[in-house]
Amino acid sequence: MGRQEAKIALEDGTVLRGLSFGATGETCGEAVFNTSMTGYQEILTDPSYKGQIVAMTYPLIGNYGVNSEDVESSRPFVEGFAVKECSQIASNWRAEKTLGAYLKENGIIGIEGIDTRALTKHLRVAGVMKAVISTEDTDARSLIRKARESPGLVGRDLVKEVACQKQYVWGDEDRYTVVVIDCGVKYNILRSLASRGCRVIVAPAETGPEEILEMKPDGVLLSNGPGDPAGVPYVVETVRALLDKVPIFGICLGHQMLGLALGGKTYKLKFGHRGANHPVKDIRTGKICITVQNHGFCVNADTLDSREVEVTHINLNDQTLEGIRHRRLPIFSVQFHPEASPGPHDAVYLFDEFIAMLEERRAKKG
């Protein structure tokens, strides 16, 4: 019996034919590409990819299989997965199943055998766009129409689909109490805080500022998450209410929401930054870090009040804003992922800066 055919169609009329792996059926999402060479399991389980079909630029994916430890959330959140070649063999002492089996049991449709580098070049030139993967519909015109009619990301609230519904505590340390506003937080952010002595209270995205302050936090972390920051105005309002009340650290979507809360504006990037090899310069020290990134929106630095907010990090590929710090208040954020998973750990020092901020505030309070 032969492998089942699958097609991916973009809203501009591009159609690529390949073979199905994982689940079968049909799915839609924004087609994006990730330049990481490894770490596909962490990518699949990053809630920030909700609403997106992810194409990997590295040609062979799945060769070391999947295990139950290298997950960044409760399940995969990608809408679909596109690779050049999916390894049928899982060769690693930690492997528990193949990538194909993992996708199938989680209902994620995969397509292999397409030219992922050609797809990537096309998305770089034309920009990311809506797409459909199907193992059922083989008619190109039908698939293109479905891609065009799919919802896209702009203005949508995808946070409500990935954030926790009930508050929970991560870790048993209690040197500091940090409330994480969960917009789709990765587990390694929680691990990074807990390993530094924090009792981490993970709160649903809709938690109001009064309820957060009642927890008497030493600091608040604004988590990563999917989609358009303009689609979650209720979180932005919460952040705005907390600005002069508690130290704040924002990561990825958290950075964008903080930018909006500080009066700035965000815009959609042509093809975004996704991968584990993006160079970022810390303007304060001149140090350059290779960072992990996953975002399609960006804060416009020119819309921030430079008297109140300073730019701390820039992307060396396209000079976009990657980090800010308030000049008076204990508040800062970065667009990239200092917790990595997957990727290099160059930027973990930012968690230490956050802890130092909590220590300084505690010392001032006596």
Q: 82 falls in which pLDDT band (50, 70, 90)?
A: very high
- Among residues 28, 86, 252, 298, the one annotated as catalytic is 252
Please state the rounded mean pLDDT for residues 275-292.
Answer: 97
Asked if 196 contacts 228 with a C-beta cutoff of 8 angstroms, the reply is no
Q: For position 366, what pLDDT does the model report?
A: 67
* The token pair that represents 194 in the structure block: 């807990």
Q: Are strands 198-204 and 80-83 parallel, antiparallel or unpaired?
A: unpaired
Q: Is residue 207 part of a domain?
A: yes
The total of other beta-carbon atoms located within 10 Å of residue 312's CB is: 20
Angstrom distances, CA of residue 108 to CA of 35, 148, 185? 20, 21, 20
Supply the range of the domain harboring residue 67.
Answer: 5-149
- Among residues 30, 42, 79, 339, the one annotated as catalytic is 339
Q: Which of 149, 183, 209 is the last residue of a domain?
A: 149
Q: Do 83 and 193 share a structural domain? A: no
> What single-letter DSSP state applies at residue 270?
E
Catalytic residue check, 310? no
Q: Are strands 266-282 and 5-10 parallel, antiparallel or unpaired?
A: unpaired
Catalytic residue check, 326? no
Q: Do 74 and 199 share a structural domain? A: no
Q: Do 238 and 345 share a structural domain? A: yes
Distance of CA 261 to the CA centre of its chain: 20
Beta carbons within 8 Å of 118's beta carbon, 6+ residues apart: none
To the nearest whole number, what is the mean pLDDT of the chain?
Answer: 97
CA distance 266 to 230: 8
Q: Do 81 and 56 share a structural domain? A: yes
| Residue-wise pLDDT tens digits, 203-234 | 999 999 999 999 999 999 999 999 999 999 99
Q: Do 113 and 202 share a structural domain? A: no
Q: Is pLDDT at 20 greater than 50 in this prediction?
A: yes
Please state the rounded mean pLDDT for residues 183-192.
Answer: 98
| Residue-wise pLDDT tens digits, 121-132 | 999 999 999 999
Q: Do 260 and 139 share a structural domain? A: no
Q: For position 173, what pLDDT does the model report?
A: 85
Q: Is pLDDT at 133 greater than 60 in this prediction?
A: yes
Q: Do 97 and 242 share a structural domain? A: no
Total domains, the chain:
2
Q: Is residue 154 part of a domain?
A: no
Asked if 204 contacts 182 with a C-beta cutoff of 8 angstroms, the reply is yes
Size of the chain in residues: 366
Higher per-residue confidence, 152 vs 257: 257
Q: Is residue 287 part of a domain?
A: yes
Q: Are strands 129-134 and 26-34 parallel, antiparallel or unpaired?
A: antiparallel
Q: Which of 119, 149, 179 is the last residue of a domain?
A: 149
Q: Is pLDDT at 344 greater than 70 in this prediction?
A: yes
Q: Do 193 and 66 share a structural domain? A: no
Distance of CA 150 to the CA centre of its chain: 21
Q: Do 168 and 135 share a structural domain? A: no
CATH number for position 324: 3.40.50.880
Q: Do 183 and 112 share a structural domain? A: no
- Among residues 255, 273, 295, 337, the one annotated as catalytic is 337
CA distance 243 to 245: 6
Q: Which of 104, 126, 149 is the last residue of a domain?
A: 149
CATH number for position 73: 3.50.30.20
Catalytic residue check, 252? yes
